Structure 1
Amino acid sequence: MDENSLTSDPTTWKGSNFVSVKQLTPSGLQLLFSVSRSMKALVRTSGGDTRLSPHVLANVFYEASTRTSCSFQAAMLRLGGKVVCVNESSSSVKKGETLGDTIRCLECYADVTVLRHPVKGSAAEAAEATVKPVINAGDGVGEHPSQALLDTFTIEDEFSETGGLKGKTVVLLGDLKHGRTVHSLAKLIARSGIDGVTLRYCSPDILRMPEDVKEEVEKYGIKQEEFTDLKSALNGADCLYVTRVQKERFENEEDYEKVKDIYIVDNEIMQAAPEGCIVMHPLPRVGEIKEEVDQDPRAAYFRQMENGMFVRMALLALVLGKSGK
C-alpha cells in the first residue's frame, strides 16, 4: 500500500498504514483527537465496547517495550478485539526469515500489525510487504508516530482550558539525537497547523536535535531555539518533555557516561519552572526525573501513559474502519 494522507475523512484511514507523522494533515490530526476523546469517555463510562470483536491484532516487537506494547494490546482488548504477540525470541527471524516474509505470514492470521523494530525504515518496509494495515510502533532512531500522537494529545488535554497547544512553549530535553519520540513530536507539532508554538531543544552538544529534523520543522515556520542550560530553557515554558539518555544507542560507553546524568529533574528544578509548566516523559525513566517529582500536580507523565491507550484505541478503530465517525 502507498503511504497516503490521513485527513478528516475517515475513509482515508480505513485500511491505511500509519508509519510516519508525515501522513497526517491538520484535519486528520483533529479527527484522531476527536475519536481519542470519545474513547476516553467510553473507558470512563463502560470500560470499552465490542466494535473490533471480529478483528485480530498482530503485536510484533523486536525491541523491549512495556508501555507501547501493552497499550496497543489493551486498546485492542477494550474494543473487543483479540491479540497475538510476537517478539524476537519467538520469531522465525532467528532462523533467517526476512521481515517482509514475517509480515506476509502474519497477515494470514491478523487484520492489522503493530511493529517495533530496531532498524530505521523497517515499518515502511513492512508496509510495502502487506495489503493490511501496518502501524509503526518505533523504528530504530527513526520515528515513533503513535507516541507523538499521544504526546500532542496530552498537551492539548492538559491545557484544554487555555487553548491547548496553541501559543505554548515546549522544551524537549535530553537525548535529542537518538530520541525517536522527540523526532516525531517535533515533526507532528510542526505539521499540526496549530499556531504560535515554540520548540526549545535542550541537550548537551553531542546529543543535539538532528539537522534534518530541524530543517523539516523550519518549513512550517515553527520557532526553534537551542539551549544547553535547563533553567534557561525553562524560562516562560509551558511544557517540559524529558527524555532518557539512551545507553543502547551509543557506540561506546565512555560517551554515555559523560552525559547520562547531565540533566536531572528534581524538586529544585520544579521550583525554578513556571507555575503552570507540566512535565512529560515517554518512559521508562532511569534517574532523569526523581520520584519526588511524582507528587507535583504538574507531573503529567502517568496521565500521558493512560492517554496512550485512548489514542491507540482511536488509531486501531480508524484503520479498521470502526471509529464511528
Structure 2
Amino acid sequence: MEKYVPAPARAVFNLLQTNFTADAASWEGKCIISVKQFGLESLAKLFEVADEMKKLVKESGGDQRLQGRLLATLFFENSTRTCCSLQAAMLRLGGSVVSVNETTSSVKKGETLQDTIACLCSYCDVVALRHPQQGAAVQAVTATRRPLINAGDGVGEHPTQAILDVYTMVSELGGVEGKVITLVGDLKNGRTVHSLARLLALYACELHFVAPPALRMPEDVVRDVTARGRATVTQSDAFDAVLPRADVLYVTRVQKERFEDAAEYEALRLVYRVTPEVLARAKRDMVLMHPLPRVGEIAEDCDDDPRAAYVRQMENGMVVRMALLALLLGKA
C-alpha cells in the first residue's frame, strides 16, 4: 500500500525520494534542494558535463542549447558569485534571465513565498532561490512546477556551492579519496560548509572541523557525516595543529549577519587568519579555498601564492552551474 502523504507535503515527500544518477534522464525537470540527493555516480556525471562546459567556454564562449529558455533568480539575500554565475551560466548557453529580489517583488506587499514561486513558474523554465530562512527551499517546492535550485537557505544548505567546491578539489588534486581536508571558521552558521561536509562524506577522506567553541559544526551535520561511515571526522579549535597535514584548507568568514551581539562578532571574526606566514607552515601543494566573500580571514598578500585557488573556484562555479542548468533542462 502506498504511504499516505498529506497533499501539501506530497511535493516535499517526492523531492526527498529524488536521487540523481549517471543517467541524464534522472536530472531533467528535477529540483536541487540538498546535497543528500547526490551520490558518487551522479557527481561523476555532473563533473563530466562540467568539464565539457569548461572546454566549451574556453573554445567558443558558449552555445545556444538553452535558447528560448528563461531562468528566474529570486534572491532575498545579497549575492555576487552565486547570482552572477547562475546568470552567466544561463546566458552562455543561449538562455535569458529574469531577476527578482526582496525590494522588487510583491513580498514587500505581503505576498507569500509560495505565491511568488507560482508566479515565476508561469513565466520561467527554472528558478534559483536564495532566502534567509532555513528550509525555505523545501517550502518553495510545494509551489513549484519547474526545476528549482536552492541557492542558499539561511544557515541550512548551499548545494551548488558544495558541488563546485568538490569539483575544484578534484580539479586541483586529481581526487578527494585519502585527502586531508580542513574546514576552518564559522562552521555553525556557514551553509556552504554544512553542504560541503555532507558531500565530502561520500569519500574516504579525513575531515578536520576547526572552529572556536561558539562556532562549532552543528551536531546534525556531524551525525550525517559520520553515519556515512567513509570519512573520519575530528573537531577542535587548534588550527596550528592540523595545518601542516592539510591537503585542502577551506576557510570561511564569520557571518556577521547571523549575530545579534556585535561585540561577540568582533571577538570571533578574526580568530583564524591565513597570512603568508601561515602558508609557510602548510604543504607546498596544499589547496587554499574560500567560498567568498572574505572579510580579512585570508590576507590579500596570499593571492599570488599558487596554492590560492579561490579565483579558480569562482570560475568553476560558472561551469558547474552551466552543467546543472543543461542537465535540469534536458540539454546536457
Q: Distance in 2 between matches of 1:127 and 1:54?
A: 24
Q: Which of 25, 41, 64 pairs up with 1:11? A: 25
TM-score, length-scaled by structure 2:
0.94
- 1:74 maps to a residue whose letter is A
Q: Distance in 2 between matches of 1:25 and 1:239?
A: 21
Q: CA RMSD in A?
A: 0.8
The question of whether the paired residues in 2 share the 8 Å contact of 1:227 and 1:233 is answered with: no
The question of whether the paired residues in 2 share the 8 Å contact of 1:231 and 1:273 is answered with: no
Q: Which of 136, 158, 168 pairs up with 2:172? A: 158
The Cα shift of 1:257 comes to 1.3
Q: Distance in 1 between matches of 2:289 and 2:310?
A: 5
Q: Does 1:178 align with 2:186?
A: no
Q: Does 1:42 align with 2:33?
A: no
| Corresponding residue number in structure 1 for 2:201 | 190
Q: Does 1:115 align with 2:129?
A: yes
Q: Distance in 2 between matches of 1:137 and 1:223?
A: 28
Q: Distance in 1 between matches of 2:99 and 2:137?
A: 17
The Cα shift of 1:227 comes to 2.2
| Corresponding residue number in structure 1 for 2:178 | 167
| Corresponding residue number in structure 1 for 2:220 | 212
| Corresponding residue number in structure 2 for 1:61 | 75
| Corresponding residue number in structure 2 for 1:144 | 158
- 1:267 maps to a residue whose letter is P
The Cα shift of 1:252 comes to 1.1
- 2:130 maps to a residue whose letter is R
Runs of 4+ in 1 over 3 A off after TM superposition: none
- 1:243 maps to a residue whose letter is T
Q: Which of 128, 139, 159 pairs up with 1:125? A: 139
Corresponding residue SS for 1:176: coil
Corresponding residue SS for 1:284: coil
The Cα shift of 1:251 comes to 2.0
Q: Residues 262-273 of structure 1 correspond to what in structure 2 (within 5 A)?
A: 262-273=271-282
Long gaps (5+) in structure 1: none
Q: Distance in 2 between matches of 1:57 and 1:305?
A: 20
Q: Residues 165-314 of structure 1 correspond to what in structure 2 (within 5 A)?
A: 165-191=176-202, 194-195=203-204, 197-221=205-229, 222-314=231-323
- Aligned residues, how many? 317
The Cα shift of 1:261 comes to 1.1
The Cα shift of 1:211 comes to 0.5
The Cα shift of 1:128 comes to 1.6
